[in-house]
């Protein structure tokens, strides 16, 4: 049982969080505590998804700042959209936005979601996320690092 005593003696070892970034968007009205986020892959290469997984993992732990992933858009306060909007995903994206209760925040994550990135001239692309649905917060990068994702989500949660 020596390791249990060591855990209690050393305590939690994490880096202190920096100051909260300036707000990029107002948190949805009535949201207290954590911001419930539904992730939507509108046609990405999955580079952003890997970095999002890192941001929600134990190293970056964005949940400590009040951001939490949920499985249904009906439970979400915000949508985190990655990738270009493809022809097959345009209608499901619009349906997901419509299913998310108002007020909501739409966050475009990655260069493809912001400006089509490397898929700019692809035949199956409808456009960037902002060309299909209104975007409130933008997180740039190809792919954005977990630190950039954490900063973008903290700018919405205010923590």
pLDDT tens, position by position, 41-83 = 999 899 999 999 999 998 888 998 889 999 999 999 999 999 9
Q: Looking at per-residue confidence, does 8 or 106 come out higher? A: 106
Instruction: Give percent of the chain with pLDDT exceeding 90.
Output: 55
Helix axes 47-56, 146-157, angle to 10 degrees: 60
Distance CA 50, CA 72 (A): 20
Q: What is the pTM of this model?
A: 0.84
The rounded mean pLDDT for the chain is: 87
DSSP 76-131: -SEEEEES-EETTTHHHHHHHHHHSPSS-EEEEESHHHHH-GGGTT-TTEEE-HHH
Q: What is the pLDDT of residue 37?
A: 94
CB burial of residue 131 (10 Å; 0-12, 13-18, 19+)? middle
Q: Return the percentage of the chain with pLDDT > 70, whole number.
A: 89
Predicted local confidence at residue 1, as pLDDT? 60
Average pLDDT value for residue range 91-98: 95
Q: What pLDDT, on the 0 to 100 scale, is given for residue 26?
A: 67
């Amino acid at each position: 049982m020596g390791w249990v005593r060591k855990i209690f003696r050393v305590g939690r070892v994490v880096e202190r969080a920096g100051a909260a970034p300036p707000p990029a968007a107002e948190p949805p009205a009535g949201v207290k505590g954590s911001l419930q986020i539904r992730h939507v892959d509108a046609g990405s290469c999955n580079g952003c998804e890997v970095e999002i997984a890192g941001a929600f993992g134990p190293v970056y732990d964005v949940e400590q700042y009040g951001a939490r992933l949920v499985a249904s858009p009906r439970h979400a306060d915000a949508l985190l959209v990655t990738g270009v909007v493809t022809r097959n995903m345009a209608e499901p994206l619009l349906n997901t936005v419509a299913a998310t209760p108002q007020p909501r925040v739409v966050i475009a994550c990655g260069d493809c979601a912001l400006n089509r990135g490397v898929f700019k001239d692809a035949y199956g692309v409808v456009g960037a996320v902002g060309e299909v649905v209104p975007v409130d917060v933008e997180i740039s990068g190809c792919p954005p690092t977990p630190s950039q994702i954490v900063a973008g989500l903290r700018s919405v949660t205010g923590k």
